Amino acid sequence: MQNNIFRILALGDIVGKAGLAALKAGLPQLKKRVGADITVVNGENASEPNGLNVEDARLIFASGADIITGGNHTLRHKDMLAFLDETRSVLRPANYPPLCPGRGCAVATCASGLRVLVVNVMGQVFMQQCDNPFVCAQTLLNEAAGSYDIAVCDIHAEATSEKQAFALAFDGRFAAVFGTHTHVPTADAQILPGGTGYITDLGMCGVRRGTVLGVEKEAIIKRFTTGVSDRFERAQAGEAVLDCALFEYDAARKICVSATQMTEII
């Protein structure tokens, strides 16, 4: 942190082996270039056929992530169930059922000494059943009061309206709110009226060109044109990208002063 500016780097959903390779190749240099104080990566599509396994979680950390957030595929791999309980820096949505393994928030202490509360919630619109993310986030912030200096949130959701409403509901309480899940980066990085940095969706880490959300196009087109579903294959070859956003937070004024969407070509 320099001149009271704390830099939060958030990366969109990692998609398969190509996304993991791009992260390993590009994240260390990206973090250094932007001066990231904390790096949050959504890993819920990193492993095959989706979800996240322990081996890939460790690779994401080795590549430079401080916190890994999740979403609707978080529990797909059985080896993650115990790992979620054991590892505080791997999150699943906090509004999953109460008996679900793991946790939906964590406090990371950065080199500057600032304590960052990272919250992970999932939307309800067009998604699997979960508790209300608004009520859940409010409860978490209240319960964690006094244990953190800065709070950020990954809202893993389909509907743009739900993400926008969520960010506005917590404007001024989170330093940054960033959406994940759609794999398509949005062009609305901004500072909300109360000082929260926001973007509706970060995008993805993986192969974009010639794919549908990082998946080989043939099976997707077949499903749309014929109604027949084939196994989705993650794209392995082609130019990979790291979609991300950088939020600059003024720790003295307690507001976000910059929100920038970025796409790194690997």
What's the pLDDT score for residue 236?
A: 80
Question: Is there a catalytic annotation at residue 156?
Answer: no
pLDDT tens, position by position, 74-110: 999 999 999 999 999 999 999 999 999 999 999 999 9
The span from the CA of 213 to the CA of 62, in Å, is: 25
The span from the CA of 225 to the CA of 244, in Å, is: 32
What's the pLDDT score for residue 189?
A: 98
The contacts of residue 85 (CB under 8 Å, 6+ apart) are 101, 102
What's the pLDDT score for residue 214?
A: 77
CATH of domain 5-207+239-265: 3.60.21.10
CB 174, CB 152: distance < 8 Å: yes
Residue 190, helix vs strand vs coil = strand
Return phi, psi of residue 130, to 5°: -155, 170
What's the pLDDT score for residue 49?
A: 87
Residues of the chain with pLDDT under 70: none
What's the pLDDT score for residue 233?
A: 78
The span from the CA of 224 to the CA of 121, in Å, is: 30
Residue 177, helix vs strand vs coil = strand
The span from the CA of 157 to the CA of 147, in Å, is: 27
Using only C-alpha atoms, the chain has a radius of gyration, in whole angstroms, of 17
The span from the CA of 131 to the CA of 170, in Å, is: 17
The span from the CA of 44 to the CA of 68, in Å, is: 9
The span from the CA of 51 to the CA of 185, in Å, is: 20
What are the structural domain ranges in the chain? 5-207+239-265
What's the pLDDT score for residue 237?
A: 73
The residue whose two tokens read 């196009």 is 217
Strands annotated E in 182-254:
190-191, 197-199, 204-207, 211-212, 215-216, 240-250
Give the residue from 134, 123, 117 showing the smallest Cα distance to 159: 123
CB 37, CB 109: distance < 8 Å: no
What's the pLDDT score for residue 128?
A: 87
